[in-house]
Amino acid sequence: MKSTIISAVVALFLGLSTQNVDLGPAYSVKITGTTQWKEIKRIEKDPVFVEGLEFIDDTTLIESVGQYWGSQIRKVKMNTADSEIILEHSLPAGNFGEGCTKFNDFIYQMTYREGNVYVYDANTLEQVKVLKMPKEMEEGWGLTHDDTHLWASDGTDHLFKIRPDDFTVVEKLKVKDKNGKAVHYINELELVDDHIFGNVLPLNIIIKIDKKTGQIEKIYDFKTLFEAQMERVDEIGNYWDKTNNVMNGIAFNKVSNTFIITGKNWNYFFEVQLQ
């Protein structure tokens, strides 16, 4: 997710579905976390509206770009100090790109409220087919996968285990904190072994969720990375919005055992190690 106000206006203008998650309460949510992580380095990136991020090999990311203008799926090569787009594919007009993940030979990319799931050849990014978003999900937000299934978020307090062949839901997992309280607005996802990591809109935090129980085991606070990004705001121009351009994008590199973290219209991929 989401540029709330702008996309709501654009969605209205385009006559798109108005059935959606009410994001207003998200902006009053307060969740505190730990700073038990360390920054390894910063890598320059093209500032785009990141809605999905995942490594497909140890130096290449897939990145989903959202908004009702310029939505894309792309491959990004990670160099030592910067990054470069090596392949890109634009979505049809009126489709807002959301979570993306690679499973077997295909890359899946959800859309926000348009009901489409685009499936691409993982090598060429050519569109192979279009599936439909499941009726159980209110919207398309984050997407990741394990060895057998895809896992998605829809902006609520649930994660959805999904069949890769037809994108139907086989399990709905409620996410709750240590006091049993539901945690909503779960956004971009990353699955590592038995855990799913998720951004929570609009907070600059990442929650670590037990994939079997939905229990949140740890909450990481990355406010200082957001503050580092704020120092680059002048370069972004007038489409920078402190409320909307928050952290969104987690990708695990199993070779280095580190995570890449970024955000909407951020200038950096931050490489971090979680403890």
Tell me which residues touch Ca ion (CB under 5 A): 53-54, 190, 250
Q: How far is the CB of 53 from Ca ion (least distance, A)?
A: 5
CB nearer Ca ion, residue 54 or residue 139: 54
Instruction: Supply 194's token pair.
Output: 């038995």
Listed in sequence order, the residues at least 6 apart from 95 whose beta carbon sits closer than 8 Å to its beta carbon are 71, 111, 114, 116, 118
Q: Which residue is nearest to Ca ion (CB)?
A: 190
CB nearer Ca ion, residue 11 or residue 201: 201
Q: Compute the distance between CA of residue 160 and CA of residue 146 in angstroms, rounded to an integer.
A: 12
CB nearer Ca ion, residue 11 or residue 272: 272
DSSP letter for each residue of 13-26: HHT--------GGG
Q: How far is the CB of 52 from Ca ion (least distance, A)?
A: 6
Q: Compute the distance between CA of residue 153 and CA of residue 41 in angstroms, rounded to an integer.
A: 29
CB nearer Ca ion, residue 17 or residue 148: 148
Q: How far is the CB of 197 from Ca ion (least distance, A)?
A: 8
Q: How far is the CB of 144 from Ca ion (least distance, A)?
A: 5
Closest CA to 133 of 148, 114, 106, 155: 114
Q: Compute the distance between CA of residue 223 and CA of residue 51 in angstroms, rounded to an integer.
A: 19
**DSSP secondary-structure letter at 222?**
-
Instruction: Supply 217's token pair.
Output: 């085991």
Q: How far is the CB of 191 from Ca ion (least distance, A)?
A: 8
